[in-house]
Amino acid sequence: MFMRKPSYRNFDYTPRFYKPEEDEENRRRWRLNVKFRSQRKVSRKRPVILYLGILALVVYMYLSLSGVL
């Protein structure tokens, strides 16, 4: 209302050198890559032992600094 809305520019660009066979090859590679990624979904499991060790270290530091140990 107070501000003017931006007007978007439309470009009519046609590439000079277009190779349809190369374009199809890139599309095929992209599709295969997407399929491969979707099949490969690897769940990253956090190292539980590392977290337990850090927690134990924090509890030990807290108890030693508070004078209990």
pLDDT digits (tens), the chain, 69 positions? 577 887 888 888 877 777 888 888 888 888 888 776 666 666 666 788 889 999 999 999 999 998 876
* pLDDT given at position 41: 61
Distance CA 16, CA 2 (A): 43
* pLDDT given at position 45: 67
Q: Give pTM, 2 decimals.
A: 0.36
* pLDDT given at position 39: 63
